[in-house]
Amino acid sequence: MIGGKTIISEEVFADLVKTAMSKVENVAVSIGDGSSFAAIAKKVAERVVPQVNVKKTDAITSESDQSTVGHVSFEVKVTVVYGANIPETIIKLREMIVHEVETITGYQVDKVDVLVEKLLKSDEVDVDKAEA
């Protein structure tokens, strides 16, 4: 087995979080096609663009080739669709973020802090869906 260091940038983790967010109903994201909320987010981009702060420690390989797992934690600011149950939505969001990040990177997610920063009102959703 060939040794060497693998470092995953914070930007990759942020992209994984945004992808996970796009898979959770009632969380508005602006990352492209494939989500009904992506179109909404594009129209009100500055209001719903999620912010993701990443804090990570990379895996360390000792001289005896014992490797530790990297750790990562997130602070995520999101917009939720008005009327959605916020606690249930955030539980689903955390689970999706942990699954996405741990499956793809092998890093252990230590915590996901979520700040529900804004609500996207239902009349904005209905109007935008009708236009789409």
Range of the structural domain that residue 74 is part of? 10-131
108 domain-assigned: yes
| N- to C-terminal Cα separation, the chain | 52
Q: List Cβ neighbours of 22 (8 Å cut-off, separation of 6 or more).
A: 29, 31, 34, 35, 37, 38
85 domain-assigned: yes
- 69 is written with which tokens? 């797992």
72 domain-assigned: yes
Could you give the angle at which helices 122-131 and 36-43 cross, rounded to 10 degrees?
100
23 domain-assigned: yes
2 domain-assigned: no
Number of domains in the chain: 1
| CATH of residue 88 | 3.30.70.1350
What is the value of pTM for the model shown? 0.75
40 domain-assigned: yes
Q: What is the pLDDT of residues 57-72, one digit of tens each?
A: 887 766 665 667 899 9
Q: What is the pLDDT of residues 86-131, one digit of tens each?
A: 999 999 999 999 999 999 999 999 999 999 999 988 665 443 333 3
5 domain-assigned: no
Could you give the angle at which helices 86-105 and 10-22 cross, rounded to 10 degrees?
130
Measured CA to CA in angstroms, residue 33 lies from 29, 50, 93, 131 at distances of 10, 16, 19, 15
